[in-house]
Amino acid sequence: MQLILNGSEINHATQPIKFLGIYIDEQLTWNYHIKKLSAKMSRAIFCINRVKNVLPFEALKSLYYSLVHSHIIYGIQIWGNSTSANKIFKMQKRIMRIIHQKKFRSHTMPLFKSSNILTVPDLHKLHISLFVHDWTNKRLPESFENIFAGKNHQTQTRHGAIYRTAPRTKFSANLPKHTYPQIWNNLPEATRNITSRKIFKNTLKANMLKEYTFNTTSICKNPLCPDCLIK
């Protein structure tokens, strides 16, 4: 198929192309970008693992933010819903165990909560919610004005929810036009109506961290779990 944009033909690329730090492949699977991100995280794991017995916890946490967190959140609104994103989450959990001096199979949700750090899936939801919050409060460029336009060109209900159109294909169901409103509409109405971006972000993050609980008596099924093993 020939694609024309502004009178110029767009060449078909079979190899992933780097655009503003994001690797885009022809199928929009984000697998190649996640592969590159995994390599960066592997190097970070090596560095943090080498100094875990020398530096205090706060210093290790700072290393996480400088070597890992900044790379994870870059473009996570785009690649965060990929099936390969779970690989990044697993590596993030490994880093949590390292900086907390925990064993390989230790539960990580209490570690995330005590560190005040969100998991990869929740970082994805947070940054999408921040994007929609900016759109709701008209902080985005005019080109985004009708990105969520629905029936009769209306976008929001009086309760702050966004109209959603039914996706026609499985592929389109994963596009921002459909996934972003779904994540936004699942937020509590009181949270959606917060106008301050800082307060909105802090409130949403706090609500997410509240869910990071772990009931070992009902969830853990690993007989060799280092946290739940009864000696």
Domain segments of the chain: what residues?
11-104, 125-209
Single-letter amino acid, residue 86: N
Q: Which of 60-74, 109-123, 164-178 has the lowest mean pLDDT?
A: 164-178
Strands (E) across 53-162 are located at: none
| Alpha helix segments (H runs only) across 80-215 | 85-99, 109-115, 120-136, 176-185, 189-192, 197-210
What does the alpha-carbon distance between residue 107 and residue 229 come to, in Å, rounded to a whole number? 12
Residue 231, both tokens:
């000696």
Confidence check: pLDDT of 95 > 80: yes
Write the CA distances from 184 to 12, 90, 136, 226, integer angstroms.
35, 25, 11, 38
Helices 120-136 & 197-210 angle (0-180, nearest 10): 150
Confidence check: pLDDT of 218 > 70: no
Give the pLDDT score at 2: 65
Give the pLDDT score at 73: 96
Closest CA relative to residue 160, chosen from 131, 181, 139, 130: 181
State the average pLDDT over residues 43-51: 95
Give the pLDDT score at 183: 93
Of the pLDDT bands very low, low, confident and very high (cuts 50, 70, 90), residue 219 is low
222 vs 43 pLDDT, higher one: 43
Task: State the first-to-last Cα distance of the chain, in angstroms, to the nearest integer.
Answer: 65
Residue 128 Ramachandran class (φ > 0 left, ψ -120 to 50 alpha, else beta): alpha
Q: Which of 17-21, 46-50, 135-139 has the lowest mean pLDDT?
A: 17-21
Give the pLDDT score at 223: 66
**Neighbouring C-alpha atoms within 13 Å toward the C-beta of 2:** 4
Give the pLDDT score at 220: 67
Give the pLDDT score at 229: 60
Exposed / middle / buried, residue 122 (Cβ in 10 Å: 0-12, 13-18, 19+): buried
Residue 156 Ramachandran class (φ > 0 left, ψ -120 to 50 alpha, else beta): beta
Helices then strands, counting H and E runs in the chain, come out as 10, 4
